[in-house]
Amino acid sequence: MKRILFVTPPYHAGVVEVAGRWVPLHLVYLAGAARKAGWEPVIYDAMTKDVDHGEIAEKIEEVRPHCVATSAITSTLMDALMILKAAKEVDPGIKTIIGGIHPTFMYREVFELSKDVDFIVRGEGEKTLIELLRTLEGGGDPSGVKGLAFRRDGAILTTPERPLMDGRELDTLPKAWDLLDWEDYEYFIIPGSRLGAIDTSRGCNKDCSFCSQRRFWKGEWRARSPESLVEDLEVLKGRFGVSIALLTDDYPTFDRERWERFLDLLIERDLGLYLLMETRAGDIVRDADILPKYREAGIIHIYVGTESTDQETLDFLKKGVDTVEARKALKLLDEHGIITETSMILGFPWETEESIERTLSLAIDYNPDFCHFLAITPWPYADLYEELKDRIAVFDYREYNLITPVVRPMNMSLEEVDRAIVDCYRRFYMGKLREVLRMEDPFKRRYLLYSMKLMMRSSFLVNKIGNLGRVPQEVEEAMAMVEAPYPTTGLK
């Protein structure tokens, strides 16, 4: 049996990893597809294991695969290409495959950047990978496989786009859960937890101009059945000991009837899981009457992408939401004991210190439990790129991480934007601390204190703020008062 090694790029940035170690769900699906093709898959989550490229090369030597595969977003592209270079150095006969959002749209650039890429999987990858692996094993012609880009005789060839799968097909995709090192995946905010992930849908039918997902999924939204979702969660809980699960998709709540059916099944099965998710503000307002079901079903934390407190900016981003709706959604979630998270995008061409100050003031007024202050980042394949390209000042893709400013405003330097972002974090969370210490809900209070402690010890904030990144004595004292451990099953 031929072997394929899937490797995550060892890229790290920002505060996302502060909260936990996240399951590479895309590789769980792709490894399942490889099994279906008759190959033996191996998953090496180099990012989560915090290893370097030398250790990845050692893993390739150890596994001796016939294929090495990885995927990339813009910021991880260079590390992904280094993985494929290492594979060729171990054995030039290893076939190398890369997929993901950036290679899908920028495949010519990828081939120009690296001579070590054999195949690029463009778009949804499971069916394409099955056909490609079977073709390679049988010595066939890859030009008959839809959804590919590859080189032949010095020319770049592309095959026709592959149609997206429908919901019924998504329900039946095999998943190689057993290939993960489950002890690696923990939600640090709740110590002792085991963190899993499922996707309830794929795609989004909204038109946000900065988003990479809309174009990748061709503006379509396809949903899995509620029954299949609960089955996945039962497997994760019963077989792998998962106590917290992330819903990875951008827009799980689009179909209210389906979404409520999912909530009802979760309540009925009483799995004792905590759930983390994101969705749109409008759906939270729409669901005001069933928000008690959200909490009863185990949903404890929801990210609502507000992106700005300024309506003109929201309209520029084609966000399709208004500031009144965003504020109302956050308030509703708070009233139902659900932890709220949102983000504000800074660094637009028209940005000034005064406009950032207004954004921070309004973010504080919105009063989410968590707020991220992100730098506008024009993905080279997103609609927004053309409108911002004249102001792009950084071309190193590793910096395209939503943390490092890459767009220079007309009236600010990149350094000034960077300092403003860090200052927004500092001022928002120092103010939030006083509110948290007064909270009566013990679960939420403990949750936020743990989160703030983790953030303030993160390399992102410590490196940028220096001594201001130390955990305040107030947090240390409050944490010392928290004696009881978090429950890992059931809601308290």
**pLDDT, average across residues 294-316:** 75
Structural contact between residues 8 and 44, judged by C-beta atoms closer than 8 angstroms: yes
Query: Which domain does 367 fall in, by range?
Result: 186-480
Same structural domain, 145 and 195: no
What are the tens digits of pLDDT across the range 221-264?
899 999 999 999 999 999 999 999 999 998 999 999 999 999 99
For the residues 201-225, what does the mean pLDDT come to?
Answer: 74
Residues 217 and 134 both lie in one domain? no
In this predicted model, which residue has the larger pLDDT, 389 or 88?
A: 88
Inside any domain, residue 160: no
| Confidence at 465, pLDDT banded by 50, 70, 90 | low
411 falls within a domain? yes
Quick one: pLDDT band at residue 123, thresholds 50, 70, 90?
very high
470-to-20, 144, 371, 448, 466 alpha-carbon distances in Å: 20, 57, 19, 17, 8
User: Would you state the pLDDT for residue 227?
Assistant: 98
Question: Rounded CA gap, 174 and 264, in Å?
Answer: 25
DSSP category for residue 372:
E
Residues 11 and 75 in one domain: yes
Alpha carbon distances (Å) from 115 to 60, 108, 306:
19, 12, 41
Mean pLDDT of the residues in the chain: 89
Q: Mean pLDDT across the stretch 298-325?
A: 68
Are 347 and 232 members of one domain?
Answer: yes
Checking if the pLDDT of 467 tops 60, the result is no
What does the pLDDT read at residue 148? 98
Answer whether residue 156 is part of any domain. Answer: no
In this structure, the answer to whether residues 221 and 331 fall within a common structural domain is yes
Query: 43 with 91, same domain?
Result: yes
Same domain, 140 and 202: no
End-of-domain residue from the set 101, 132, 150: 150
Domain-ending residue, one of 102, 123, 150 = 150
> Do 226 and 141 lie in a common domain?
no
User: Is 13 a domain residue?
Assistant: yes
Q: Is the pLDDT of residue 378 over 70?
A: yes
How far CA 386 is from CA of 209, 319, 375, 381, 414, in Å, comes to: 10, 17, 17, 9, 20
DSSP letter assigned to residue 345 = E
Query: Kindly report the CA angle at 429 between 427 and 439, in degrees rounded to 5?
Result: 135
Among 88-102, 177-191, 398-412, 478-492, which stretch is predicted with the lowest mean pLDDT?
478-492
Listing DSSP states for 18-78 in one string gives HHB----HHHHHHHHHHHHTT-EEEEE-HHHHT--HHHHHHHHHHH--SEEEEE--GGGHH
Whether residue 184 has pLDDT greater than 90 = yes
- Do residues 110 and 199 both lie within one domain? no
Residue 163 lies in a domain: no
Q: Is residue 492 part of a domain?
A: no
- What is the count of structural domains for the chain? 2
Based on the domain organization, do 141 and 193 belong to the same domain?
no
334 domain residue, yes or no? yes
**Confidence check: pLDDT of 489 > 50:** no
Checking if the pLDDT of 185 tops 70, the result is yes
Residue 172 lies in a domain: no
144 and 216 in one domain?
A: no
For residue 340, name the pLDDT band (cuts at 50, 70, 90): very high
Q: Give the three-state DSSP class for 292.
A: helix
Return the bridge partners of 373, or none: 344
Predicted local distance difference test score (pLDDT) of residue 386: 84
pLDDT one-digit tens code per residue, 124-180: 999 999 999 999 999 999 999 999 999 999 999 999 999 999 999 999 999 999 999
Asked whether 228 and 222 are in contact (CB, 8 A), the reply is no
User: Phi, psi at residue 158, to the nearest 5°?
Assistant: -125, 140
Handedness of CA 200, 203, 208, 209 (dihedral sign): positive
Average pLDDT over residues 350-371: 92
99, 122, 150: which is the final residue of a domain? 150
Give the domain CATH number at 247: 3.80.30.20
Quote the radius of gyration of the chain (alpha carbons, Å).
Answer: 23
SS3 of the chain: helix, strand, coil, percent, to 5: 50, 15, 35
Residues 191 and 318 placed together within one structural domain of the fold: yes
